[in-house]
Structure formats: structure tokens, C-alpha cells
Structure 1
Amino acid sequence: MDGSPDRGIVSAARPDDELTFPLSAAQLSLLVAQQLRPEIPVSIAQYVDVDGPLDIELLTAASKQTGREIGSGYLRLVEVDGVARQWLDLDMDDSLDVVDLRAESDPESAAQEWMRREHTAAIDPFTDRLVRLAVLVLRDDHYYWYSRIHHVALDGFGAMSMMNRTAEIYTAAVRDLPVPPAVTAPLQSLVKAEADYLGSTRWERDRDYWNTKMADKPGGTSLASSTAPSQAWSRLRSATVPTELRSSLERLAAAHDVTTSSVVIGALAAYLARATGTRDVVLSLPVSGRTTKAARRSGGMMSNVVPIRASVDPHFAVGDLLHEVKIELTGALRHQKYRHEDLRRDLNAGDHSIADGRGFHGPLINLMLFHSGITLGDAHGELNVISTGPIEDLSVNVYQTSAAEEIQIDFAANPDLYTNEDISRHHRRFLEFLELFCAAESGTRLMDIDPDAAGKWIAEVQHARNVEYWSATLSNPAEELGLPVVAGTGRTSTPLEIEAGLCRSLETMATTMNTSLFVLFQSAMAGLLRRVGSADEVSIGVSVRGYGASNPDDFVSMFANQLVLRSTVSNTMTLTDLVGAVDTVAIEALEHADILLSSVTAALGDGRWVETGPLFRAMVCFEEPLDAHPRFPGLMVGAPIGSDLATVPELFVSLAIPTGEHADFDQPISGVLDWLGTKEQAEDLADRYLRILTAMVGTPHSALGSVDLLRPDARQALVPPVLPITPVRTLSEILSDRIRATPEAIAVVAGSERVSYRELDRRSNQLARKLVDHGVRSESLVGIMLRKSVDMIVAAVAVVKGRRRIPPTRSCAPRRAFGIRGRGCATGVRHLRFHFPELHFPELRLPEL
């Protein structure tokens, strides 16, 4: 036949509906992908390079028998009531195409071109043959046994099983031996097994595993700077791994009890991390999805793609990375049946198909480290993979040749994402890196493998780590301080002076606690803001300069960056604990110091400072460069100069700490406290700041809340004045004084009747004597039953005088009660008797006086 690759149109026969069966979830997803991009065939293609005699008639018969055993060779799709279903059309044309290229000047090149055109041509899965087999005759004893299979019918693992079974049947026929029995499962049973898996306990475990691992929705890793739709053909670069490198690879695998596949995956992850400047690498690993012996010998579409996620930090050792990859592979294979389409849907990562742009995972790494040789009777064949399907980004194929058991590594790249130069460069550099990786000792850090090339990666990883840290730390604006700001007063400042003795004590404390003066001053500020404010989380800004500075003047933008120290402070914590807490926060902040605050705010979102509040509300800076911490030599703190500070914080403290030859603290430290409030408030804050510093060295184990922050005058202002005690005077004494001073003055007015103090005294004395004569004593109860009148007042004064004139009795006799009543008050006595029924007392009538 001629050399033009046709599509192999199948018969138009339509089966009875009962002969059809549903598509599996995997098949359905691939069919949808094909329909979304009909010009890109979702197929696999491979060929066996056969050297030796080949009986094409026997090979055709073996292919037909294999196709019937596994079913996939006769699979067709049909729509039933608008739903895609599948069936086995045993009457379709199952001939083996033969393409004779012996007349070509370069048969090998002609064969490669024929296969390229055939496997990249569009396929209609409802009308075209899903499985196509062909023999390309190059010479009398040299053949290419070619197969192109749509993924809906068969996956890569099934295709290999089909070719191996065909070779097994063919070899038995050539050698006149019995054909080994087939161990396959019907396609219907494979579809049912997948349907049973959905919703099962194992399905739930697999779903939970992948949803937990990919919960933060990492982006796919790529060496390309853009995205593009997948393509049917690729830019291919291949190379055979040298014998020495293979030996190194096997030694490294044996030393860490991992497979050679784990070593290749680890090396690829490290290379991608270095090339992309990341430490979180996600690869795509094709898996068979076949967990039973019968499934592994059967046809059908069961394969899946699972993510392999590796954390690749520059400081990790080679052994650490290989151990992590081993764990990742174990988990991935254990949970390989959960569909990647379902995972995408779970994580709301978009309903993208395999034919869409960049995939959900990273580059595909296809590991085929098995014997690729195939025996066909008296001929020997070598399997060659042409395509594993549409190329989304980059596919790394690693397989073993049979001739010398060599390892070959191919890079197949999307031609719309990578130029020939791009793919050649990456392929070459990966092989060079793989050699260095396999030659490294177990404890070698990844950053020390080709350190010159790793510099950019280290810097990018550090930057990403800094952005991640500050984005989490500063995810919310700083809490309001809760200080008593007086609106409209503007900013005021006051001098701040720290005595030399206190400075020396602070220096000693810093040395003892393995921290710095910088941390102690920040701790005192955090304590002050917690004591006088309402914020539990205190945010303080710090101006810093980069590492390794021998001369501050060498840096044009020195101290142009700010860090934020966010500390949770409680009044119950001791001052020592306060310093420890701030020291921990400072260390974490300084570890992530080499990033501009503007970069952080950009990562957090534009306008955060103005619209949602500042990232810090107080600041402590230093007029002279000061060592930040003993753990970070060369990292200095200072005053904000040329900074990107958007606004001056509410509270700003600047200290002139002597450094160098003047750092012996024989003089007080001067400073300034600047405050968005009154002068008096600024002075008070400065004094309280000094009191906390003093307490930190004087009583470090006392609670922050117990530190006395009040000046003597402030404390005096809180204590109310003590007034002189006025002596208590009796009613009789008051009346006597008035009688002596103004005897004729009017004392009582009742209607038209008026009585002077002299008359009141006379009449009340007279009645008082009568009371005494009737037995009234100081403890006696005397009831007055009179209307409001002069007589009522006279009686009241008389009772007071009568009881006062007689000293209290010392006998145990019961107390007596008396009643005074006037005309018209006859019921009064009865009322008294009702309220005090145990009392029996005589009555005095005012007319008797």
C-alpha cells in the first residue's frame, strides 16, 4: 500500500442498545477533552524497531487474537439517546496496515515522517478507528511495528500489555508452541469496578488524602514564561545517560533505599526549583490505576495523573530530598485511583481538561524504567515511545533500552512554549545537574551543588519566603493603641534621658539573655503600650540596614527599610518573659529582613496602609547604627532615612545610643519622644518608659502589670483631699446656743402662731420635767401623737431634754414607754398599742401642763 496515513474509517454498523455499555469516568473525561479540541488527537503512539525476520501474516493473526482478548482493539463509540456509550464491533476492518518504504532513499526518515503525520492527524472518536496498527517495511529484515491508540480505548499501560501479548502469541506461533492462557478482564468489568470505586470507603480516603495535600492550590511548576494550548507534536531532545552516570544514580538509590525513579524525580524537582526560583515543586506523574493482577494484564482506559509535590529548599540535603520524594511516591501510588479531574473540581481549580493550556500539575515525568526489549519469534524488537498524548508544557520521559540496558532521557516540549534553543538548553543543563546530583554526598546541601548557578535560586527562594512570612504576619492592620489622643492638638515632643548606670545595667542584661540593647528598648516600648493602651498585640516599626555592612556610608539607601515587630503582650507576664517574647519576634523578623516594606504592602494589596490602617503605630529608632542582635552580625538598626514610610506613627521614640569607642555608657543617653498628643501626655509617656526600663533590670521577675508607672505628683492627684472633722453636737446644745444668742428670735411658726426661742425653751422645759416625774429615762420610748403644730415641736424638744437630764439606768428592769397626746388624737394611743403590743404606758395630755 502507499505511504499516506489514512484514518481507517470503520463500518457504519449500529449495535443493538443492549450490546452497549457506559463509558467510565476516565473515558468520559478524555472524550470531553477530545471534543473541546477536535484538532488535537488525545492519543498515544509508539513503535517497535524490529531487527530480523517478521511474518506479517502471523503478526496480523496475533494482533486480531489479542484485540479480541482485551477487547480494546475492537472498541467503538456510539451515541444512545444523546449519551456516549461503547461497544465491541468484532466485524470492523481489523487488518494490519503495511507501508512499504524500501524504495525510499532514507527509509528511516520516511518512516518517522509517516508516523508523525499519522499520530498528529485529527481523529473523530465516533467514526475513526480508535486503535490503528501498521507495519512499516524499511528493509527485508528491518521493520517498524507501529501502533496509534486513542486514550478513550486504551491507556499507555494497556497499550504495552497489548503489544507484549501480541508478541507472546506471535512467538508461540513461530516456534510452534502452545499459546499461554490469557489473564484479562472484560472491559465491562473494568467499567463496573471503577463505578463501584466511586463513593466507596477507599474513594473517600483517597479524596481526603489529595484534598489535604493540595488544599492550598499550588500552581503548576513550569520552565516556560507563558501558557499555550496543548499540541499534538513536540520539540524532542533525547540523550542516553552515560554508563558512569547510571552507576552513580544506582549507587545513590541504593545508599538511600530508594528506586532509581526516586532519584530521577528528586533531581528533576531540584533542577526545576533552581530554574524557576521556587521551593515548592509540583510534578505530574502518570500512574496505571491498575491495582489487581487481572487489571494489569487487561486493556481499557484506567490510567490517571497524580501530583508529586516536593518541598525543595536550598538548605535541604540530597538525602532529605530523596527521603521526601520516597514518601510522596508511596502516598501517590497508594491513592492513585482518585481522578485528577475530580481533584481539580474539588479544589475549584477550574474545569480544565487535558487539552487545555498549562495543566493543574507541573511537567509530566513518565518513568518507564523496565526492559523495553520485545521478542518476536526469531527477531528482536526495541520499544520506542513517540507520544504519550497531547503536550501541555513539558514531558520528561525516562526509559531503559534493552541493548546495553542503558537509560535514555527525553524532553518533549510544547512547541508554542519552547523554542529549539530553549529545550536544548534545559535538556543539556538537566543532564549536567543530574550528574552533579548523583555524585553528591548524602549530606550535601542542594545549594552547594554547583553553588555559582544556585545563587539566583537562593535569593529568589529567600524573597519568596520573606513575602510569605510578612504576608501572614501583617495580614491585618495594626491594632489601635488605645492611648488618650487629644484631637486637634498636633504633635508634641519631649526630651528623653536614660541614666548611664541604667544603660550599663541594660547592657549587662542583654549579654546575660543573649539578646541586644535593641531588643530591650523594643521590649520596654511594647510593655509601655500594653500598660497605658488597650491593644493586646503591639506593633512597633523598626528601621534596618542589610547584612554584612562594614561601613554604613557604603549604602546609598541605608535604613531605608522598615520591619514590624508584632508582639502579644499581657500585663501578667514577667518582664523577663516580655523580653523573651519580643526577642523571639525580633529574631523571626530579622530572619526575613531583606525585603522592602513596599514589596510586602504590594503583596498584601495596594492601598492597605491608607485604606485599612497602618502596619505599625509606634516606632523606636536609633540615631547611630546599632547592632540588631548577636545572631545576625552586620545587621544594623537605625533611623529611617529616605524610607518608604508612608506616615509618621502615633508614637515615635529616637535614641542616641553611643557606639564604637564611645559605647562605654559613661554619659546618659539622650533621646526624644514624639507623640500625637499634648505636651503633658508626652512627658508622662517618657517617664513611664524609663520606669519600665528601670524595672526590667531592677525587678526582672515582677509582672508587667505591677510596675509602678505613676510620678509622685500624678499619684497625689489621684488621692482626694482630707477635710477637717466637724464635732457632733446634740439638738439640746444647738438650741441652748441659739437661746443664748438670740432669745427673742422666732423659733417656730405654725399658721398665725409664733413662738420665740425663749418661749420654746420655757414650755419644753416644763414638759420635760413632767416627763421625768412620770419616769422617763434616757432609754425610754416616748410616743408623740399630735398634729403639725407648735405643741408638736414643744413636745419633741421636751422629749429630747427629758431623756438627756436622766442618766441611763443600770438595772435590768424592762424599758418603759410613754405617750403624749393632745385633743383630737384619741386613736393615737391605740395605734401605738397596735404597733407595740407588748408596751403598756401612761399617757400625758398637754392640757394638763
Structure 2
Amino acid sequence: LESTEHVVVIVIHHISADGGSMAPLARDLLTAYSARMAGGQPGWTPLPVQFADFALWQREVLGSEDDSTSPASKQLEYWKDTLADLPTLLDLPLDRQRTPHRSPQGARVEFEIDAEQKAALAEVARRHNATVFMVVHAAFAVLLSRMSGTEDIALGTPVGGRGDAALDDLVGMFVNTLVLRTKVAQSATFGDVLESARETDLGAFEHTDVPFERLVEALAPVRSNTYAPLVQVMLTFQNNETARLELPGLTVTALDSEATLAKFDLTLAIDEQGAEAQGPTRAVLTYAADIFDEATVAKYADRFQRILDAVVADSSVVVGDIDILSADEHAELDIHIESEAPVASLGSHSVAEELAAKPLPELLDAAASINPDGIALSHNGIDVTYRQWHEKSGELAKTLASVGVGPEAAVTVALSTLLPGLLEGASGEGFADQFAGMLAGVIAEATSASDGRVNALPVDLIECWHEQVSLDPETLALAGNGSRLSRRELNTRANQVAHELVARGVRPDDVVALVVPRSIEWIVGMLATWKAGAAYAPIDPAYPAERIAAMVED
């Protein structure tokens, strides 16, 4: 620094101040500085309320959660109902597997929403009786759905919490985080998704007083050191008052910190503070650097803008038909599309049709070559890279070929995402509970069938299964596609396939690729693979083409 330059660093814990506190804090600081330089004392205008007054008022108005008629109790019940059965994790494709302890290190990718696009988004909002925030929320949810392959999208957003003008000049922590949960069906139009986002946002903004920490405590989600609870992605609109830094005889400039912290996997921030009415709006994607690379997040930004372009052109566009891949990405997948084809025909359906015609080994070879250390699949807490998958499947292919398995043969595949619904009358959780008992017995019974090659299971699970079989071996175990299997029949069929796998050379720790439509055979193949002591590689062709593309590219 030059002798005439100085830097003032203000360090504030978040428990003491939020983003809305920066403008009044700056005013107070500049008022004090100016007064002291003039040889006087600062003449601050007395505040009508203090933070303690706000805390007492909030407690009095909201009441006790123990009182079922109180606003506090009703708001908490709203959130419990709204977030019931919320998925634990939004499973986006990552560049690296999560580490046991999440790092706060982050980085940023910046882009702009130009003036024309901004005006078009405002027009979409007007036509749908919504706000620009709601339109951006819906578009961001579409992106997250397309990238994760799930329709249940939850993201967080901060709210100011200053519901009274008397609080505007107060320094304190008023911000709360809301969970916005929206369904994004690929067959729905963007207008449908926007209407859903609108209802979600209006409902959430009417129930802003339950602290996020209290919500986590009440819902008790599965906790992990590797990701944030309830939401891993945030959407923020930065529209707080900008602090005016003006002092007589001085030039004052605000400096951004070079350090970027990532509290979440991804945070999309739309900066309305510095946006001029007729100019572009700055947008920033902050990401966790331990799981994402800059190039990956840059593609997220590019795909988000493609979604915005599509919905401002036609808000009735079907979500699954929005083409979010660039020309280079299409070329990398060797998908040849006529250059004169309309954009509407370049969506996920046409991409999926092209991919369906590609041999899986071809896609796997490309993925292993492009990104060998990328995560190809995750199951039961185990991550498998493209290199590992490629090597193991190559070994298995040689083994199968050596015993006479030819091109027309099929080796069964299990897809863990398709389990719910195969058991009659059972929910996803109910299926998991019942299937765990069946699985324990199946593998226990197969121990002798595979000459001890199956890893031992806890005795209590094995005994539980044997007890179930002995009590009623004819109890219905699985039903689907017009077929029904009892516990005894399921075990018998799985044992037969397990014997065949062992006879064909499958050994402990081998990988058997399972590729079979949703069916009872799917379950039989999975059990048989475990009986043989091997692992299975689930391949789900139902994933959106964009997710498959991301796996291949990244």
C-alpha cells in the first residue's frame, strides 16, 4: 500500500450480523469517522428498537410449540408435512467422491443474464402471475432435475426476516433459510413447473419464522459430515441495500474477499444489487471445490442459460425436450443431428433415442478414456470410477468368453433405483425392511451353494430369515409383470443362477454387469450375484440423456 492508502478490515460473526446489516453498519461507521475528523462526536439517530426487543416480540407473537394453536406450532407442522420423506441427498454427478470431512474451500464461476434475457424473464413472470425469483427457481430446479435424474428437487433460499421498517437500520442476525421443494416431471411443461414453484414459494414465504436449525432438529434427517442437511444447493437473490461509502476528501472502495467459502455443494446467486435497470445482471455459481471442478460448474452455468433461453422463447416447452447440451457435447457423444432441425427436437427424448442405439461398451470406453477417475456409479456408500468399472468389466468379459458366452447371451443386471414397487402393497421404506430380511436368508442359504465364497452375515439376520422361511415358506416375496414368487421360489431360483455363475468362473470380488428390464428376474440376478460372492454393476438406461452425457464427458 502507498502511504496514503489504508485498508479497514471488519470481522463480524454471522451470529451478530447478516447481509442486511452491512448498509446500516457502514452508515454508522462513516458517520462516526466524519464526526471524529471534524473534532466532534457522532450524532447517531436513536433507534426505535433494539435486537432484544425483536427477540422478545417474536417469542410473544409466535408462542410456544407445545401449544397446538400457536403460530410456532402451526408453522412447524407445515414444514413437517411439506418436507415429509424428503430425499436425504440431491445426487448430482461429481468430479470427485465426497471426503469424510467436508472442506469449506470453494470457488466461483461468474456469468451474466443480459438485459434482453432479463426483460424476457420478467415477461414470463408477468404472464404466469409470478415473480422473476419464481421463474429462476423453476429454471434452476429443471437444471438440477436434469442433472440428478430425480423429480424431487429441494433447494434452500435465505429470507431477510426484517418484516418491519423499524428493523431496517438495526444490525443483527435476522436471516433464515427456507427449504423450497418442487416436483419436476420431465413430461411437464415449464409452465407447470413454474406454477408448482410459485405455490411452493408462496407457501414457504408464509412460514418463515421457524429457524432452519430448529427444522433440522425436528425433521432429524440422516446426518453426514460430507454434505449439509436437508438442502445441498442454494438459490439467493442479493437485493439488500448497497452500502454507500462516501467520506469528504477520501476515495472509498469496497473490496471483495479473495477467499471463497462453500457452505453447500452449489449456490446460485443472482446479484440484483449492482444490476442497472437496462443493464445485465451478474450471476455467480459458488461450488465446493473438493467435489467439483471449475469446468464442470461452467457447464452447469451454460446449461442453466440454455434453459432460460428455452423458457423465454416458449414457456410451454416440455421440460424433457429442453436441449441443454452444447454442439461440442453433442459431437463428443457422436450424436449427429441435422443442423436445420428445430431446437424443440433436440431435447432429451431424441438424445435418449440416439444413446439407446449406442453399445454400452462404446460409451464405457469413451468415459474411461475421457475421465478415468470420475465416479461412474455409487451404491451402498461405495464409489466406483470409470477406470475400475472398465477394468473389472473387461476381466469379466474375458471370463465369460472363455466359458462360451457369446454376443447373444445376457447376464442379468440389477438397478437399485428400481426396487420400490416390485413388492406388492409396500412403500419404498416398507420394501427395504422386508427385502433386508429376505436378502439375509438368501445369502445365508447360498453359503453352502457357493462353497463358502459368500461373506458371512450377522447371525441374527440369518436366523431371522430361517425363521421366516420355516414359519411360512410360501409367503409372497415378489410380484411383478404378472408373476409371483414365494420366499422358497425366490431362493431356489437365485441359488440356480448363483451355481451357474460360479460354474462359469465368477469368483469373490468379481463384478457382474446386470442389464435386465424391471422384473422379478432383475431381483433374482442381483441375489444370485451376491450368492456367488461377487458384486453387481447397476446400469440404469432410464437416466436422463444429459446425465449420461455428463458422466461420459466429465
TM-score, normalised via structure 2 length: 0.55
Aligned residue pairs, count: 360
Residue in structure 1 matched with residue 286 of structure 2 by the alignment: 412
Give the C-alpha shift of residue 375 in structure 1: 5.6
Residue in structure 2 matched with residue 204 of structure 1 by the alignment: 73
5+ residue gaps, structure 1: 1-100, 104-135, 139-143, 478-534, 544-592, 611-849
Instruction: Say whether residues 1:358 and 2:228 are aligned partners.
Output: yes
Residue in structure 2 matched with residue 240 of structure 1 by the alignment: 112
Aligned residue runs from structure 1 range 420-431, under 5 A: 420-431=294-305
Distance 1:204 1:385, change over 3 A: farther
How far, CA to CA, are the matches of 2:172 and 2:102 in structure 1?
A: 24
Q: Which of 4, 14, 25 is the matching residue for 1:162?
A: 25
How far, CA to CA, are the matches of 2:35 and 2:423 in structure 1?
A: 67
Instruction: Say whether residues 1:447 and 2:320 are aligned partners.
Output: yes
Distance 1:366 1:164, change over 3 A: farther
How far, CA to CA, are the matches of 1:172 and 1:324 in structure 2?
A: 53
Letter of the 1:189 counterpart: D
Aligned residue runs from structure 1 range 364-443, under 5 A: 364-369=234-239, 372=242, 374=244, 376=246, 390-402=262-274, 404-405=276-277, 406-439=280-313, 441-443=314-316
Aligned residue runs from structure 1 range 467-482, under 5 A: 467-470=419-422, 473=425
Which structure carries more strand by proportion? 1
How far, CA to CA, are the matches of 2:254 and 2:276 in structure 1?
A: 12
How far, CA to CA, are the matches of 1:410 and 1:302 in structure 2?
A: 23
Higher RCO structure (Cα 8 Å, ≥6 apart): 2
How far, CA to CA, are the matches of 2:30 and 2:93 in structure 1?
A: 40
Give the C-alpha shift of residue 276 in structure 1: 0.9
Distance 1:347 1:445, change over 3 A: same
Q: Is the 8 A contact 1:227 1:358 kept in 2?
A: no
Instruction: Say whether residues 1:150 and 2:13 are aligned partners.
Output: yes
SS at match of 1:327: helix
Q: Is the 8 A contact 1:315 1:447 kept in 2?
A: yes
SS at match of 2:12: strand
How far, CA to CA, are the matches of 1:326 and 1:384 in structure 2?
A: 33
Q: Is the 8 A contact 2:144 2:153 kept in 1?
A: yes
Q: Which of 482, 486, 502 is the matching residue for 1:542?
A: 482
How far, CA to CA, are the matches of 2:44 and 2:424 in structure 1?
A: 63
Q: Is the 8 A contact 1:285 1:308 kept in 2?
A: yes
SS at match of 2:186: coil
Q: State the Cα deviation string for residues 547-581 of structure 1 (Å, max 9, x = none).
A: xxxxxxxxxxxxxxxxxxxxxxxxxxxxxxxxxxx
Aligned residue runs from structure 1 range 10-409, under 5 A: 101-102=1-2, 137=5, 147-163=10-26, 166=29, 181-183=45-47, 185-193=49-57, 195-196=59-60, 197=62, 199-200=64-65, 201-225=70-94, 226-228=97-99, 229-350=101-222, 357-369=227-239, 372=242, 374=244, 376=246, 390-402=262-274, 404-405=276-277, 406-409=280-283
Distance 1:400 1:169, change over 3 A: farther
Q: Is the 8 A contact 1:284 1:365 kept in 2?
A: yes
How far, CA to CA, are the matches of 2:274 and 2:102 in structure 1?
A: 31
Residue in structure 2 matched with residue 698 of structure 1 by the alignment: none
Give the C-alpha shift of residue 282 in structure 1: 0.8
How far, CA to CA, are the matches of 2:31 and 2:518 in structure 1?
A: 64
Letter of the 2:319 counterpart: L
How far, CA to CA, are the matches of 1:156 and 1:210 in structure 2?
A: 25
How far, CA to CA, are the matches of 2:258 and 2:282 in structure 1?
A: 14
SS at match of 1:314: coil
Q: State the Cα deviation string for residues 514-565 of structure 1 (Å, max 9, x = none).
A: xxxxxxxxxxxxxxxxxxxxx99x968538xxxxxxxxxxxxxxxxxxxxxx
SS at match of 1:227: coil
Distance 1:403 1:255, change over 3 A: closer
How far, CA to CA, are the matches of 1:443 and 1:182 in structure 2?
A: 53
How far, CA to CA, are the matches of 1:431 and 1:168 in structure 2?
A: 43
How far, CA to CA, are the matches of 2:80 and 2:315 in structure 1?
A: 32
Residue in structure 2 matched with residue 69 of structure 1 by the alignment: none
SS at match of 1:442: coil
SS at match of 1:358: coil
Letter of the 2:177 counterpart: V
391-400 or 207-216: bigger deviation: 391-400
Distance 1:403 1:322, change over 3 A: closer
Distance 1:472 1:182, change over 3 A: farther
Q: Is the 8 A contact 1:284 1:308 kept in 2?
A: yes
146-155 or 271-280: bigger deviation: 146-155
Aligned residue runs from structure 1 range 465-614, under 5 A: 467-470=419-422, 473=425, 541-542=481-482, 595-599=518-522
Give the C-alpha shift of residue 164 in structure 1: 5.3
Q: Is the 8 A contact 1:397 1:410 kept in 2?
A: yes
Letter of the 2:318 counterpart: R
How far, CA to CA, are the matches of 1:172 and 1:445 in structure 2?
A: 61
Give the C-alpha shift of residue 383 in structure 1: 8.5
How far, CA to CA, are the matches of 1:258 and 1:174 in structure 2?
A: 49
Give the C-alpha shift of residue 270 in structure 1: 0.4
Q: Is the 8 A contact 1:281 1:312 kept in 2?
A: yes
Letter of the 1:442 counterpart: S
Give the C-alpha shift of residue 465 in structure 1: 8.9
Aligned residue runs from structure 1 range 673-692, under 5 A: none
SS at match of 1:374: coil
Q: State the Cα deviation string for residues 107-153 of structure 1 (Å, max 9, x = none).
A: xxxxxxxxxxxxxxxxxxxxxxxxxxxxx948xxxxx7754421122
How far, CA to CA, are the matches of 2:352 and 2:29 in structure 1?
A: 49
Distance 1:158 1:457, change over 3 A: farther
Letter of the 2:107 counterpart: R
Letter of the 2:482 counterpart: V
Letter of the 2:112 counterpart: T
How far, CA to CA, are the matches of 1:385 and 1:193 in structure 2?
A: 36
Residue in structure 1 matched with residue 395 of structure 2 by the alignment: none
How far, CA to CA, are the matches of 2:124 and 2:105 in structure 1?
A: 35
How far, CA to CA, are the matches of 2:166 and 2:255 in structure 1?
A: 23
Q: Is the 8 A contact 1:171 1:375 kept in 2?
A: no
- RMSD of the TM alignment (CA)? 4.5
Distance 1:155 1:371, change over 3 A: closer
